[in-house]
Amino acid sequence: MLFVCLGNICRSPMAEGAFRVAAQERGLAVLVDSAGTASYHLGLEPDPRAIAAARANGIDIAGQAARQIERDDFYRFSHIIAMDRANLESLQSKAPRAGTARLAMLLDAVEGRRGEPVADPYYGDAAAFEAAWQVISRGTQAWADKLLRESTQASA
């Protein structure tokens, strides 16, 4: 699972952290990472407000470093999950023709919320980051549930 937003310093690092825990809780062994469609923040750790929101919810994301999506990602990951429609469109335009990753939006896995974006909290306050965390947590748990269902179906 590769989670993607614009800068890879706010939403997708929170999604990476939340999904790691959701996968672990369900006993899923999955390659997890995050990336940005843009290159503004390469090598930087997540925004301090994203680190704080994750920490307030018991998850440490401080060790992450921002990177940009690359060609190999479309072959290495089975799913590339965008936070909003602009991220998805950017991924669609970068995807190699023979890429094997499935592209989707985070809330596509949440019943009744297909196609909804995770609002960018970058210009918001701590409350905007907490709200983003809650939405992201919901979305990542839904993806983990979906992968678990698919893996138990496949082995049945």
Residue from 1, 2, 3, 9 touching ligand 4NP (CB under 6 A): that is 9
User: Rounded to an integer, what distance in angstroms lies between the CA atom of residue 67 and that of residue 125?
Assistant: 24
Which of these ranges, 6-14, 71-79, 133-141, 145-153, lies near ligand 4NP under the rule CB under 6 A? 6-14
- Residue 79 sits at φ, ψ, to 5 deg, of -130, 135
Residue from 5, 82, 135, 144 touching ligand 4NP (CB under 6 A): that is 5
State which of positions 115-134 bind ligand 4NP (CB under 6 A).
120, 122
Counted residue by residue, the chain has a size of: 156
User: Rounded to an integer, what distance in angstroms lies between the CA atom of residue 139 and that of residue 141?
Assistant: 5
Q: Using the 8-state DSSP alphabet, how is residue 103 labeled?
A: E
User: Rounded to an integer, what distance in angstroms lies between the CA atom of residue 95 and that of residue 62?
Assistant: 29
Residue 49 contacts ligand 4NP per CB under 6 A: no
Residue 61 contacts ligand 4NP per CB under 6 A: no
- Looking at the annotation, which residues are catalytic? 5, 11, 120
